[in-house]
Structure 1
């Protein structure tokens, strides 16, 4: 049933969106279709590159289809053939045929660089709305009829509402709700990712992963003779290095993985040449409310499910679509924010719970845990085992609402 039209929709609004990653551009796209005037501000000086490879399916895939993006996603994405787990000598000790994911999702599944997804979303709105790079919000004042925003570099401006789509370390959340420590749950792991040119060996369409207790490193061959590397390691507390201290981050990875065997020496040598490293903690954001007055949060800023859930980008796109749809249907921003949260919260809480339960098997901290994990992945070759084990995690137990927005290609 079409949700729009139940109430008189609010008039055209000016909406400031902080963050030009996944959630922000998706929201801007749908707001443009509704006739609103979004402005994006992003503290990075340009659209980001690098990062890690994501698996994309579920409600986010449905939203991408509504945006006409699926053919392009399949072109830039990868049909991964195998997840291969190897030991110190590179011998296969576990893994499975990755086509099981496509089978369980009826083919509505693709793996891709997160930066490629962000680039495609950015291209959908480029030239259609104001996008400010190299600046950030430093102050917010909500007077009930609008929000005045102060910026690090630009002059103060006033908007009808503000949406924080600025990730785990959201500035909007800090300004409107308080320090991150009040909402963050650390899950006991750190993560890092980078890309290198010309790395050998290459295993096309194979995600190769090596682990020792508490540490895991993986590589995946990308187009253009690039290779993506992902590090995950257990840590009792978040590693205390600055978010922009590249040299210190590299030293942490060298100390953690220097004796891990396999290809770690040559991977760490490639890391030396890297100038774009993603380095962060694995954490969730849990909040009692995702909005306050005319300020709302979206994606990881509101409900980071963590890297372990494997669905952050897809959920961010689904949430952006719902938020835009509710803003197009409600009489006030506050009513739209309330409805948006009511629709999504049960799904998000389910995903967060599953991610917390999965944390221990993601990078097992003991030799026994690694052995059990490896044997379980081998069992996925038995018909029905993969479906029984993975099937529920690939389901989004929510129907995507239908809204009357100009660009919808699926009703």
Structure 2
């Protein structure tokens, strides 16, 4: 590439800062705008696998990420008394296992990526894009708060329900609803909390989880099968009330989780849905990460897709001044990998959320057969698409 381009990226979570890092290395002038008023710290546990691990190695960040891991040693399925049904130790390589070798809090990963992107990348918090009008030479962008500006390229990297995406790709992205809500939050750590991810199933399609972090607290998750209720758009008090109703009588550690909830709790709830878009670019505007291809947390590949997808996009843009050619090449390299990651095993996530007592017995019996081939396959699928390949050819 011979021409410096001004690039605007929306979203300062995973895909956005990764893309900013690599574009800045190839002499682009990069601005990242983030709707949140400040960096989003904390968050749930996430993992980095396969090509995502290779990209962070190329960024020189692997040691920093390992220093910030959650220390999770593996996954244990437990019954309502907390007795272990089956245990699956953490993976010891780039891919594989319900607990990956590299587990980290989303906010910790975002912080490291933002810091690594360097002083030449401008981050603007507390603003968002509300309009984009492009012509043959550039994109005129309107912000909610800031003054309008003109960029050579715009990339949306702001999540599964990206409002920016609808400005340029209205109605194009199809969402595949998985029939599942998940809530994440934080608990004070107790002596009984250990370094394992503890997974508990209750009837009614309900699952509770407790996971370690590196900040002296314990992360919880509550998942349940449900039709759409709009809870992902509700206020905190409504969410807390819904969780208390849904998990009443569920057993195990759910009373502890529910009793911790109030209006000040760190709490995030979402309805899981995959995003499938026929195109990821239009003229000078593109989208990357969950905004383009959310595979959902049950795939185990969301963070890897965000990091690897941003890297490949930056690599293609670094090869040529023709952004259309770059976007086309990027799509050709990424789409088979994305398609594989989005291909969840039949019955996912329903089979892991049995509704009846009989279904719960069947699920726990299957998990208990930890040494059998079916359960090894199940554990591998919890960990994501280990057999997926992606061309990570460097800039040339």
| Same fold, judged at TM 0.5 (above) | yes
Runs ≥4 residues deviating over 6 A: none
Q: How does 1:20-169 map to 2 (within 5 A)?
A: 20-92=12-84, 94-99=85-90, 101-102=91-92, 105=95, 109-169=101-161
Question: Distance between the aligned counterparts of 1:40 and 1:127, measured in 2?
Answer: 12
Structure-2 change in CA distance of 1:224 and 1:177 (3 Å): closer
Number of residue pairs matched by the alignment: 391
Q: How does 1:395-410 map to 2 (within 5 A)?
A: 395-404=386-395
TM-score by length of 1: 0.89
RMSD: 2.3
Q: Deviations over 1:119-156 (max 9, x none)?
A: 11111125331110000000010112211110000010
- Any gaps of 5 or more consecutive residues in structure 2? none
- Any gaps of 5 or more consecutive residues in structure 1? 1-8, 406-411
Question: Distance between the aligned counterparts of 2:226 and 2:390, measured in 1?
Answer: 37
Structure-2 change in CA distance of 1:246 and 1:273 (3 Å): closer
Question: Distance between the aligned counterparts of 1:176 and 1:297, measured in 2?
Answer: 10
Given that 2:45 and 2:70 are in contact with CA atoms closer than 8 Å, whether structure 1 keeps it comes out as no
> Which of 318, 321, 330 is matched with 1:328 structurally?
318
Structure-2 change in CA distance of 1:128 and 1:371 (3 Å): farther
CA shift at 1:57, angstroms? 1.2
- Deviates further, 268-277 or 218-227: 268-277
Question: Distance between the aligned counterparts of 1:54 and 1:79, measured in 2?
Answer: 12
Given that 1:60 and 1:313 are in contact with CA atoms closer than 8 Å, whether structure 2 keeps it comes out as yes
Question: Distance between the aligned counterparts of 1:386 and 1:72, measured in 2?
Answer: 33
Q: Deviations over 1:168-207 (max 9, x none)?
A: 1112211011148x521111001110113x3325432111
Q: Which has the higher contact order (CA 8 A, sep 6+)?
A: 1
Q: How does 1:229-244 map to 2 (within 5 A)?
A: 229-237=220-228, 239-241=229-231, 243=233
**What is residue 253 of structure 1 aligned with on the other side?**
243
Q: How does 1:164-243 map to 2 (within 5 A)?
A: 164-179=156-171, 183-196=174-187, 198-213=188-203, 214-237=205-228, 239-241=229-231, 243=233
Structure-2 change in CA distance of 1:355 and 1:136 (3 Å): farther
**What is residue 284 of structure 1 aligned with on the other side?**
274
Given that 1:97 and 1:381 are in contact with CA atoms closer than 8 Å, whether structure 2 keeps it comes out as no
TM-score by length of 2: 0.92
Q: Deviations over 1:51-96 (max 9, x none)?
A: 211122111111111111111111111443232222222222x232
Instruction: State the secondary structure of the residue aligned to 1:102.
Output: coil
Question: Distance between the aligned counterparts of 2:288 and 2:267, measured in 1?
Answer: 25
Question: Distance between the aligned counterparts of 1:242 and 1:209, measured in 2?
Answer: 23
Given that 1:61 and 1:109 are in contact with CA atoms closer than 8 Å, whether structure 2 keeps it comes out as no
CA shift at 1:242, angstroms? 6.0
**What is residue 4 of structure 1 aligned with on the other side?**
none
